[in-house]
């Protein structure tokens, strides 16, 4: 089983560090800054960085890739449809890769960017997902390049994964996302409970991740667009009848952009 830790970067990014403790080999996901990874490697001089996984091309996810490759020779995996520095292997939808002896499936999940991918490890007892900036804890990424239809489809695909899938996104946005979720569904007890828990965690300096697909289905408005209460709020905000789940999503995402 992989050990996974978060290396904080910038103001609210996490670089996920995957560790094979038997072989003392590690991999990182979306290293926007090389420094936190190099600091960890300096503190663990008998460890080897073997792989770098990239979800999309934004600088806060790829800024450290080239330096890490030059220092370690790690293999760089990234989306085929985007320009990723130092990339060795270009990944397409449904590709299967092996990292640290574990199989990962690649999902193309456009919306935040057009070529964004996610990495899914289908372990029966502990499946996990590295979702980048597509699915956040209680939220989703902004639509910088894709359409609402694309993002809704991408999120629906991730929402269909096993409920106990651990979700490792790349930003500590959970509290602000939950504030929006409360505005969408003020009577949702699961959102209220999660807000209280995450508020306490952050006050103690604890991170709010990973999440799970089950928790997202209960508390993430962008995965709950089929709920009557969510549609009603979207209709109220957009002053129109949003006649499809994708239209409800578009209304919510537009509101979140200015919330």
Name the active-site residue from 61, 116, 121, 152: 61
SS3 state at 168: strand
Give catalytic status of residue 243 as yes or no. Answer: no
Q: Report CA-CA distances (Å) from 85 to 75, 146, 170.
A: 12, 22, 19
Name the active-site residue from 30, 33, 51, 133: 133
Name the active-site residue from 58, 116, 121, 152: 58
Q: Report CA-CA distances (Å) from 6 to 90, 105, 171.
A: 25, 21, 11
Q: Count the Cβ atoms, other than its own, within 10 Å of residue 189.
A: 10
Give catalytic status of residue 60 as yes or no. Answer: yes
Name the active-site residue from 51, 56, 57, 116: 56
**Tokens 């009577």 found at:** 187
Give catalytic status of residue 116 as yes or no. Answer: no
Name the active-site residue from 33, 51, 112, 152: 112
Name the active-site residue from 57, 121, 152, 171: 171
Q: Which of 56, 90, 88 has the alpha carbon at shortest distance from 72?
A: 88
Prior bond to 9 cis, omega within 30? no
Q: Collect all residues with Cβ–Cβ distance below 8 Å to 221 and sequence separation of at least 6.
A: 138, 139, 180, 181, 184, 185, 230, 252
Give catalytic status of residue 44 as yes or no. Answer: no
Say how far apart CA 133 and CA 196 lie, in whole Å: 24
Give catalytic status of residue 164 as yes or no. Answer: no
Q: Report CA-CA distances (Å) from 197 to 19, 102, 107, 191, 210.
A: 28, 32, 31, 10, 14
Give catalytic status of residue 171 as yes or no. Answer: yes
Bridge partner list, 134: none
Say how far apart CA 115 and CA 92 lie, in whole Å: 9
Q: Which of 52, 1, 8, 7 has the alpha carbon at shortest distance from 26?
A: 52
Give catalytic status of residue 102 as yes or no. Answer: no
Q: Which residues are catalytic?
A: 56, 58, 60-61, 112, 133, 171
């Amino acid at each position: 089983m992989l050990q996974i830790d978060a290396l904080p970067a910038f103001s609210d990014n996490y670089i996920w560090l995957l560790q094979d403790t038997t072989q003392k080999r590690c991999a990182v996901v979306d290293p926007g800054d090389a420094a936190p990874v190099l600091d960890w490697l300096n503190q663990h001089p008998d460890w080897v960085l073997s792989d770098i996984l990239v979800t999309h091309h934004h600088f806060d996810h790829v800024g450290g890739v080239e330096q890490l490759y030059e220092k370690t020779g790690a293999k760089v995996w990234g989306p085929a449809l985007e320009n990723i520095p130092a990339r060795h292997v270009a990944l397409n939808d449904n590709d299967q890769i092996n990292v640290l002896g574990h199989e990962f499936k690649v999902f193309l999940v456009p919306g935040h960017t057009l070529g964004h991918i996610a990495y899914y490890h289908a372990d029966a007892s502990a499946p996990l997902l590295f979702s980048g900036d597509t699915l956040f804890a209680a939220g989703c990424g902004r639509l910088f390049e894709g359409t609402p239809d694309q993002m809704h489809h991408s999120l629906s695909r991730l929402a269909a994964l096993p409920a106990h899938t651990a979700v490792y996104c790349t930003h500590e946005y959970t509290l602000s996302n939950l504030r929006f979720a409360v505005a969408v569904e003020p009577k949702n007890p699961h959102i209220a409970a999660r807000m209280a828990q995450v508020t306490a965690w952050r006050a103690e300096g604890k991170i709010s991740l990973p999440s799970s697909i089950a928790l997202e289905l209960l508390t993430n408005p962008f995965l709950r667009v089929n709920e009557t209460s969510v549609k009603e709020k979207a209709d109220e905000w957009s002053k129109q009848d949003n006649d499809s789940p994708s239209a409800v999503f578009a209304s919510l995402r537009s509101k979140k952009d200015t919330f």
